[in-house]
Amino acid sequence: MAVLLALTALAVSATPANGAAAAQSEWPRVVTDALGRAVVIPAAPRRIVAIFSSNVEMLAAIGAGPEIVAIEAWTRYPPEIVARAGRVGGRLGFSVEAIARMDADLVVMTPARQAAAGMVDPLGRIGVPALVLTHRRLDDILGNIRLLGRATGHDADGDAVAAAMAARIDHLRRCLSGRPPVRVYLETGSDDRGAAFTLRDDTYTGDILRAAGGVSVFAGRDRLGRVSGEAVWQADPDMILVAGTPAQAQALTTRPGWGGINAVARGDVAAVSRALLLIPGPRVVDGAWMLARLLHPAAFAAGGACAAAPQSVEGAGG
């Protein structure tokens, strides 16, 4: 799939070999964001506000973590950034005034929770570049990591992290080649009224499930939707995965009527990390390997085709 976001660099003649911020002579740079806006970045950013966990994780992975001065209240990773960074908003919205007080020279955000709609224009009026990213598919995540590398002057590290992620996914696909996909019901959430929710097929989570040798029993749905125990029973998955805690996975097995689902009766129910599956950042590749180990354990046994895993993404950048 072609990456949705394109980037044009102005006056860039070389990439720093050590992955550090580019020389001042290579600036300004112009990048095109997910809204199709040409965003001018006058100089290598030194005070970045990163809104939403995905953007914080991508910036940290490419070596721009030290430049992050503020985040939103619901970001949890990486812990060293969470511990020191300021806050510019949360569930109830975001504050352009707080960003201005941070003396920010770049804001990175996604459109969720009206962040882009409420902040792009005000930030433009006060002269703070705002870069809006969307992370719909796995290829978008890779492209956005490269884009952030160029937007922040961490060109080499952005390219290295994206290349390492792609290599690990390719390795996983190759070592699972020839194995029939495991039919999975992946529950992404539930509520106290008995509603359960599963993933959309055309998302980065759907992409990593397929890379891990799985396929959603509800593949083909065009939206994230409620599902019932009866629908899961009719779909008859090989395995049920719950994005959450072991206690949440155990609770699923006690729901009225769910005990009659074959996967529940067999005990083929497991908890999987929400952070590795539902936050579109570098760790989704770890999520793919986590899923693959659950779905195809024989491939990871001693002598199995996937027993030798390549380097983790966290070691790829500078």
For residue 31, being part of any structural domain is answered with yes
User: What integer is the mean pLDDT of 56-77?
Assistant: 96
Asked if residue 237 has pLDDT above 70, the reply is yes
pLDDT of residue 8: 30
Structural domain that includes position 218: 180-295
Query: DSSP labels for 20-51?
Result: -PPPGGG--EEEE-TTS-EEEE-S--SSEEE-
For residue 309, being part of any structural domain is answered with no
Does residue 161 share a domain with residue 13?
A: yes
CA–CA distances in Å: residue 45 to residues 162, 181, 196:
21, 44, 42
Does residue 274 share a domain with residue 236?
A: yes
Distance of CA 119 to the CA centre of its chain: 22
Domain count, the chain: 2
Task: Look up residue 5 and give its two tokens.
Answer: 């976001």
Cα–Cα dist 95/196, whole Å: 33
Contacts of 221 (CB under 8 A, 6+ apart): 198, 200, 201
Instruction: Look at residue 156 and give its three-state secondary structure.
Output: helix
User: What integer is the mean pLDDT of 61-83?
Assistant: 96
pLDDT of residue 160: 97
- For the chain, counts of helices (H) and of strands (E): 13, 16
Contact between residue 284 and residue 208 where contact means Cβ atoms under 8 Å apart? yes
Does residue 115 share a domain with residue 216?
A: no
For residue 287, being part of any structural domain is answered with yes
Contacts of 105 (CB under 8 A, 6+ apart): 42, 43, 45, 46, 47, 48, 128, 129
Contact between residue 254 and residue 197 where contact means Cβ atoms under 8 Å apart? no
For residue 89, being part of any structural domain is answered with yes
For residue 1, being part of any structural domain is answered with no
pLDDT of residue 314: 54
Tens digits of per-residue pLDDT, 158-167? 999 999 999 9
Pair type for strands 182-190 and 196-198: antiparallel
Does residue 201 share a domain with residue 83?
A: no
User: What integer is the mean pLDDT of 204-216?
Assistant: 96
Structural domain ending residue among the three candidates 104, 134, 165:
165
- Look up the CATH number of the domain holding residue 53: 3.40.50.1980
Cα–Cα dist 48/46, whole Å: 6
Tens digits of per-residue pLDDT, 271-289? 999 999 999 999 999 999 9
Higher pLDDT, 6 or 90: 90
Tens digits of per-residue pLDDT, 88-145? 987 767 888 999 999 999 999 998 767 777 888 999 999 999 999 999 999 999 999 9
Range with lowest mean pLDDT among 1-10, 21-30, 238-247, 288-297? 1-10
User: Tell me, what amino acid is at 91?
Assistant: R
Cα–Cα dist 18/249, whole Å: 45
Does residue 143 share a domain with residue 22?
A: yes
103 CB-contact burial (10 Å; exposed 0-12 / middle 13-18 / buried 19+) = exposed
Long-range contacts of 25-30 (CB under 8 A, 24+ apart): 26/153, 27/153, 29/150, 29/151
Task: Look up residue 240 and give its two tokens.
Answer: 């049920």
